[in-house]
Amino acid sequence: MKSELNSFLKNLGKAALTVSLFVFLCDTVFSQNLTLGKIQQTVQKGVSKEKILEELGSPNMVTGSSADQETWIYDKVSTTTQTEAKAESGTVIGGAVLGFIGIGGQASKANSGASTTTSQKTLTLVVRFKGDSVDSFATRMSSF
């Protein structure tokens, strides 16, 4: 009975750890809402690495130039596609009356097409750390 309880508790602990790790990773990967507003609220000189990680998630790239200097790069690209449908139609009705005899006709034309516009926006954040706190940072936005 005691060994069954120990086994159950070990398995329960492993399951809890697995679920916690999964939730943490999902939160880190899927909630990276990197916006200029979020950057302006979070990144300031002197802010700790832990705070940056907590607010912005893991960076896309990390480089180091010396033992106490590190650079983190966040890069977000968003693509927007807009499709606009176009439709044209026309009707022509013609006729002539010669006495009691009528001559008439009808023609119609339908034309449809669509135009698609795609645009991309990029937001790049470069954070330089000295020790465990922000030393400097820069952002760049572009759209095309």
What residues pair up with 142 in beta bridges, in sequence order? 122
Do both 72 and 108 map to the same domain?
A: yes
Per-residue pLDDT band at 65 (split at 50, 70, 90): confident
Do both 108 and 56 map to the same domain?
A: yes
Do both 5 and 60 map to the same domain?
A: no
Closest to 77 (Cα-Cα) out of 125, 123, 138: 123
Do both 4 and 16 map to the same domain?
A: yes
Instruction: Give the per-residue pLDDT at 2.
Output: 64
With contact defined as beta carbons under 8 Å apart, do 79 and 119 qualify? yes
Do both 41 and 108 map to the same domain?
A: yes
Instruction: Using the Cα atoms of residue 97, residue 98, residue 99 and residue 101 in order, give the sign of their dihedral.
Output: negative
Task: Give the total number of structural domains in the chain.
Answer: 2
Q: What's the pLDDT tens digit per position in 88-121?
A: 655 545 444 444 444 444 555 555 678 888 999 9
For the chain, the first-to-last Cα distance in angstroms comes to 68
Do both 120 and 77 map to the same domain?
A: yes
Token pair in block for residue 67 = 């033992």
Report which DSSP code applies to 7.
H
Do both 92 and 134 map to the same domain?
A: yes
User: What is the rounded average pLDDT of the residues 29-35?
Assistant: 62
Do both 22 and 86 map to the same domain?
A: no
With contact defined as beta carbons under 8 Å apart, do 95 and 105 qualify? yes
Share of the chain above pLDDT 70, in %: 59
The parent domain of residue 112 ranges over: 34-143
